[in-house]
Amino acid sequence: MIEVAVENRSGAEVDAAAAVALAQQVLAGEGVEGGELGLAFVGPEESRALKQEHLGIDEATDALAFPLDGLEAVPDGLPRQLGDVVVCPQVVGEAWRRPLVHALLHLVGYDHGGEMEAREELYA
């Protein structure tokens, strides 16, 4: 089972249970049998600061992925650390599913392109 630690720092109401269920569905569908995922909902200013710091782009964004283990082999007895996904509810609004799926796919090694878009369609 994929353990998801959720934190809402956005100031907006979010459906955390639905987001966790979607994350677990996507990761299981991508062959992740277990591990730990951090999921944070942040406000536009924090989203902007993270994008500036990590990508050098000064704008708020819908979602960001910070991968760790991905699908690489991990030593026996250690949990897979998938990484963190950050979603900004004020940017995504009601359409939060696709940005979350997009970020999760980055965690497991997909880059932008046709294959990633096809996988997004499958889950979103």
- In the prediction, which pLDDT does 41 show? 96
- In the prediction, which pLDDT does 33 show? 81
Mean per-residue pLDDT over the chain, rounded: 90
Report the alpha-carbon distance of residue 57 to residue 7 in Å, rounded.
24
Neighbours of 72 (CB within 10 A): 9
Average pLDDT on 40-64 reads 94
Nearest to 103 by CA among 46, 44, 63: 63
Indicate whether 115 pLDDT > 90.
no
Average pLDDT on 26-46 reads 92
With respect to residue 10, please indicate whether it lies within any of the assigned structural domains: yes
With respect to residue 17, please indicate whether it lies within any of the assigned structural domains: yes
Q: The domain spanning residue 12 has which CATH number? A: 3.40.390.30
Domain count, the chain: 1
Which range marks the domain in which residue 77 is found? 2-109
- Cα–Cα distances (Å) from 14 to 8, 75, 80, 107, 113, in that order, read 8, 35, 26, 22, 29
